[in-house]
Amino acid sequence: QTLSPSQIRGRILSPDGTPLQGASVIIAGTKTGSTTDEEGRFSISVPNNRKVTLEVSSVGFATKTLNPGSQTDITITLEKSIAGLDDVVVIGYGTARKKDVTGSVATVSSKRLMDKPVVNLGQALENKVAGVQVISNGAGVPGSQPMVRIRGTNSINSNNEPLYVVDGVVGVGNPLSTLNPNDILSLDVLKDASATAIYGARGANGVIIITTKRGKSGKPQLDYNGSASLNVMQRHLYTMTSDQLMYTYMQAMANGNKYGTVNPGKDFRPTGSGTSFSEMPALFKQVPTGSYVIPLIGKDGKSYAPIYNTNWESLIFRPSVSTDQSLAIRGGNENAKYSMSLGYTDQNGLMKQSFFRRYTGRLTSDFKVSKWLNVSTSLSFIKSKQTNRDGDIPRSTAEVWSILPVKYPTDANQLIGNTYVGGRWGTNQDFNVGEQWFNVLYRRQENIGFNHIGQVTGSFTTTANITKDLTFKSDFSIDYNAYKQDSYSGQLYGSTGSASVNTQTNMYWQNENYFNYNKRIGTDHNLSAVLGLSWSQLRYQNNGASNSIFLSDFYGYSNLGAGAAVRPGVSSADGSSALNSYFGRINYSYKDKYLFTLTGREDGSSKFGSNNKYGFFPSAGVAWRVSQENFMKNVTALSNLKLRGSWGRTGNQEIGSYVTQSYISTANVVLGGTSFTGLYPSSVANNDLKWETTEQYDAGLEFGILHDRVNLSFDYYHKLTSNMLLQVPLPLSMTSGSVTQNYGKVQNAGFEFTLNTRNIETKNLSWTSTITATNNVNKVVQLGPTGAPIYAQTGAGNGTSALIIGQPIGSFFGLTRLGVFSTEETSLAARYGLKPGDLKFLDRNNDGKIDLLTDGDVMGNAFPHWLIGFNNSFTYKNFDVGVDIQIVQGVSKAFVHESAEDRQLVSGGLNSSLDAWRPDHQNTMVAQFRPGNGGAYYQSYPDTHMMYDASFIRGANAVIGYTIPDKSVQKWGLSRFRVYLSTQNFFLRTKAAGYDPEGSSLDKQFALVPNTDKYQYPVPTVFSFGVNTSF
């Protein structure tokens, strides 16, 4: 290719010689520029006289300026600048150089985000940014969407998720699970009010701005990234073996009358009237007397032993393989640029038939229509499918008797009492002390269902360069989400099958219009401003249908009409919400030393009461770049010192539509065998409802020494959320239970700390490390009108939580378990109507009664004190190595024992039950064995025995990559070829029980108390192999 005299091409490299993708080359003082491709190559048109200055910049490197002179092919090596002072950060309705920003903004490059194979953005973000907590939901469930908290939990009943802005589309639907991380160019996290106030009523939880990769000038470039991962179990749940179970059974029955009245029908010993061991040849085999460790004597006087010893965990969880592939083409010329990308993710869980599959596509185009007019479009489409019936299966691994088979063989001997069970699935009712629990494989077969998401997001943006300093931008964007949830519960013994299909469609549109003004006045004054207005609207429609009584499992959820329920379920709802906003921002800097930002946004929302439709959200930020001062010029060791401070108010409006209204709802009422429609009062009006407001102060320090080889960033923040959108619980004597009112206050305060160091920098070897540390202290300052605590999940078998003034959100609440009443404490136990061998709880008010709320107390918190990430990356010649360690300190987890430890002999059980009290083993936390379903009482409360210190250290990621040198791969038509091996979750140290210290079981996922494990889905250790190639 011959170059015209006005064209320059070149290559931009990092100090170690690797090409820099996405670096920007701009002709200084103009908007003309280009970005580099995967090979680091660019081409740019310059005036014929070539009297221009090129500004070359790239995230993480110091900006370099040069005069090309007569060169047409330039190789430029950029120096690393970890502080990234010249980096451009996205700040909402514009960009700014990092050094000019007064707010707290963190940028994560695509390279950092993708340093391990990830399925979703949440995983990619975990551990990367101080102040950001990524909370796993459903633990290892494939495709589960994590929760993200920026600087703590602000709100009790409103949403606490940050606002996601993807390529200018504000509040895009479910970006965490549907966005293909390979498409991301950069991600900016806006944390303090100076940064987020431009998003006004939606900014209180922080903002994450995502910029995706777009086309660029030059020949088309094809990138392919692919990986395959092996997932294996990391930890196990120890359940009772058959021997342990039969020991428990015999002990429990012997104690039965001590704790109630033994139901003789559940007693299989010769003393009981239940089916004897000798009458259950399907489960027990005759053995020589004395040959089995537990004397199981049948009614015939002979000895028996269980036939099976089934480990349900090993049958349902097994290693799985996941793959991820993405393909992208980007190219164009100065006037028209394009990009296309496709992605396919196939994530398979450790559980059988548990998966997440996602197809993504993205198209972008950018046109320079005329000298003053640019048009950009983007269109993305996503389809995903996720299994949704995985929730109660892990519990069955612990609760189903180990003495059962998966399926009984079909010979004539398969009898339980008079019942022939040959060919049937084993279920808990076969050993008839238990409840109707189905074994995991049976349940897996009979429970099918999927969540589907289809999403189309598109935008059309016009930019007019009105003058050199003034541009006007207008966009029209849509985000269409279609959700469908199918579910079928099959004909498990005795059931008739039930199916449901629920759909939801959301149609969001926005129109944003704003001016950007940038002006340098003289050499000292720099002014930039934004002024704009916007409209947006969300319309939703939900439809649901269900039916039951199917003649066969054949139909699944695919033909609801085939069911024969008396009244099949139907439901639908629709509605909308709208926002109308006016916003503006002024940035002013003096001599690049003193920086000021003022931001304001006026938001009007349909969601609020007729008396409070509009709210105003202001912020102000200042920064002082001390290192620019003359008196600092001699302090050569100090390369950067900046002090920042900001204040602002932002809002939260994430409640449903129409909550301010008073409704009269309909119910179906049966009278005389016919269903009629009845009306009833369902809610109380609140026309004064308004924004939840968060007021935030932030003080920051940025500090670099030794030519930025050591960089430190430190922030302290204090947030007070007031006028919360609280679902104030109301007396049920006078109301339907609650009303959303502006009540209550929550405070968050904390430190964020980021230390970047370049420890070794030589030609062949480099080592850089980053430590991020986050500390957040949350406190409920005020609640509803009575100030009464708000309790949740107070029943046994839960992780009870409480919102209490003075205590943080996420507080677990329960009794203190002191142990078990000993034989010396017989009279003390009798005070509570109990006996030695019964659980002993702290009677806080010493009134002789044990009551959860009266005697309970805060037992721990589901949010950690400290989050620490320690990330290292090394390069040695063509090798690259990364090691990420994650440390979480000061967090509790509720591991709910109730269903498998307190309730002995209601189900299979955990083998921790074997620590049960005996007269010769009194110092324990487990009550004496008793037949829970055989007529004995048991005590089960949310209590300290189920609380664990869930602090942990995790080997989050380790990767070793090798980039085959250019010359070798060029022969194959490649410009880049990297292979890597990586492992995630490769070690874990914690005191917590269960599969993983993070996450919750699917049915115990609560945004305010995220750490409750009642048999959660296991988290795998992952081993991956992948390639990154460019053609």
Q: State which of positions 729-748 bind another protein (CB under 8 A).
A: 729-737, 739, 741
Nearest of 697, 698, 715, 699 to residue 755 by alpha carbon: 715
For another protein, the closer CB: 297 or 936: 936
Lookup: tokens for 228: 């395959």
Binding status of residue 580 toward another protein by CB under 8 A = yes
Nearest of 188, 205, 192 to residue 92 by alpha carbon: 188
For another protein, the closer CB: 201 or 891: 201
DSSP string, 548-610: E--S-GGGTTS-GGG---SS-EEEEEEEEEEEEEEEEEEEEEETTTEEEEEEEEEEEETTS-T
Minimal distance in Å, beta carbon 960 to another protein?
52
* The only residue of 6, 53, 67, 419 in contact with another protein, by rule CB under 8 A: 419
For another protein, the closer CB: 356 or 608: 608
Minimal distance in Å, beta carbon 566 to another protein?
4
Region 610-629 residues binding another protein, contact defined as CB under 8 A: 613
Query: 180 forms bridges with which residues in the sheet?
Result: none
Whole-Å CA distances, 337 to 177, 214, 363, 712, 1031 = 28, 8, 11, 38, 18
* The only residue of 434, 648, 942, 1026 in contact with another protein, by rule CB under 8 A: 434
For another protein, the closer CB: 382 or 850: 850
Region 325-354 residues binding another protein, contact defined as CB under 8 A: none
For another protein, the closer CB: 134 or 936: 936
Q: Are 524 and 590 in contact (CB under 8 A)?
A: yes
Binding status of residue 293 toward another protein by CB under 8 A = no
For another protein, the closer CB: 582 or 596: 582
Nearest of 141, 104, 148 to residue 126 by alpha carbon: 148
Q: How far apart are alpha carbons 605 and 603 in whole angstroms?
A: 6
* The only residue of 88, 560, 891, 936 in contact with another protein, by rule CB under 8 A: 936
Binding status of residue 558 toward another protein by CB under 8 A = no
Binding status of residue 578 toward another protein by CB under 8 A = yes
Cα dihedral value 66, 70, 73, 79, nearest 10 = -10
Sign of torsion over alpha carbons 795, 798, 799, 803: negative
Minimal distance in Å, beta carbon 87 to another protein?
38
* The only residue of 524, 574, 629, 915 in contact with another protein, by rule CB under 8 A: 574
Contact region with another protein (CB under 8 A), list: 46-54, 158-166, 314-322, 653-661: 653-661
Q: Are 259 and 939 in contact (CB under 8 A)?
A: no
Minimal distance in Å, beta carbon 201 to another protein?
12
Q: How far apart are alpha carbons 627 and 645 in whole angstroms?
A: 16
Minimal distance in Å, beta carbon 932 to another protein?
5
For another protein, the closer CB: 95 or 661: 661
Binding status of residue 429 toward another protein by CB under 8 A = yes
* The only residue of 31, 591, 849, 991 in contact with another protein, by rule CB under 8 A: 849
Antiparallel, parallel or unpaired: β 692-705 and 638-652:
antiparallel
Q: Are 670 and 699 in contact (CB under 8 A)?
A: no
Nearest of 775, 722, 713, 770 to residue 745 by alpha carbon: 722
Residue with tokens 């460019």: 1030
Region 3-62 residues binding another protein, contact defined as CB under 8 A: none
Minimal distance in Å, beta carbon 142 to another protein?
30
* The only residue of 448, 852, 888, 927 in contact with another protein, by rule CB under 8 A: 852
Region 210-229 residues binding another protein, contact defined as CB under 8 A: none
Q: H or E stretch including 696?
A: strand 692-705
For another protein, the closer CB: 215 or 784: 784
R_g over Cα of the chain: 32
Minimal distance in Å, beta carbon 747 to another protein?
23
Contacts with 346 (C-beta within 8 Å, 6 or more apart), sequence order: 322, 323, 324, 355, 357
Query: Residue 734: exposed, middle, or buried by beta-carbon count in 10 A (0-12, 13-18, 19+)?
Result: exposed
Q: How far apart are alpha carbons 151 and 991 in whole angstroms?
A: 26
Minimal distance in Å, beta carbon 593 to another protein?
42
For 720: left if phi > 0, alpha if psi spans -120 to 50, otherwise beta; the answer is beta
* The only residue of 372, 493, 972, 987 in contact with another protein, by rule CB under 8 A: 493
Q: What is the x/- site pattern for another protein, positions 388-417, by CB under 8 A? A: -----------------------------x
For another protein, the closer CB: 234 or 275: 275
Region 80-119 residues binding another protein, contact defined as CB under 8 A: none
* The only residue of 213, 607, 976, 1004 in contact with another protein, by rule CB under 8 A: 607
Three-state secondary-structure class, residue 58:
strand
Region 460-479 residues binding another protein, contact defined as CB under 8 A: none
Eight-state DSSP code of residue 99:
G
Region 657-716 residues binding another protein, contact defined as CB under 8 A: 657-658, 660-682, 684-686
Region 140-179 residues binding another protein, contact defined as CB under 8 A: none
Binding status of residue 511 toward another protein by CB under 8 A = no
Query: Residue 356: exposed, middle, or buried by beta-carbon count in 10 A (0-12, 13-18, 19+)?
Result: buried
Phi, psi for 351 (deg, rounded to 5)? -80, 145
Query: Site for another protein (CB under 8 A): how many residues?
Result: 111
Minimal distance in Å, beta carbon 152 to another protein?
26
Three-state secondary-structure class, residue 476:
strand
For another protein, the closer CB: 490 or 869: 490
For another protein, the closer CB: 260 or 618: 260
Binding status of residue 544 toward another protein by CB under 8 A = no
Minimal distance in Å, beta carbon 496 to another protein?
6
Binding status of residue 806 toward another protein by CB under 8 A = no
Minimal distance in Å, beta carbon 298 to another protein?
16
Query: Residue 607: exposed, middle, or buried by beta-carbon count in 10 A (0-12, 13-18, 19+)?
Result: buried
CB neighbour burial string for 251-290, b if at least 16 within 10 angstroms, e if fewer: bbbbbbeebbebbeebbbbeebebbbbbbbbbbbbeeeee
Whole-Å CA distances, 944 to 17, 830, 950 = 57, 23, 14
Binding status of residue 572 toward another protein by CB under 8 A = yes
For another protein, the closer CB: 60 or 934: 934
Q: What is the x/- site pattern for another protein, positions 251-290, by CB under 8 A? A: ---------xx-xxxx------xxx---------------
Contact region with another protein (CB under 8 A), list: 240-248, 438-446, 515-523, 567-575: 567-575
Contact region with another protein (CB under 8 A), list: 87-95, 118-126, 781-789, 869-877: 781-789
Q: How far apart are alpha carbons 435 and 440 in whole angstroms?
A: 15
Minimal distance in Å, beta carbon 167 to another protein?
25
Binding status of residue 494 toward another protein by CB under 8 A = yes
Minimal distance in Å, beta carbon 153 to another protein?
22
Residue with tokens 């078990």: 820
Region 940-969 residues binding another protein, contact defined as CB under 8 A: none
For another protein, the closer CB: 270 or 795: 795
Contact region with another protein (CB under 8 A), list: 150-158, 213-221, 501-509, 559-567: 559-567
Region 811-840 residues binding another protein, contact defined as CB under 8 A: 830, 832-834
Residue with tokens 């949704």: 388
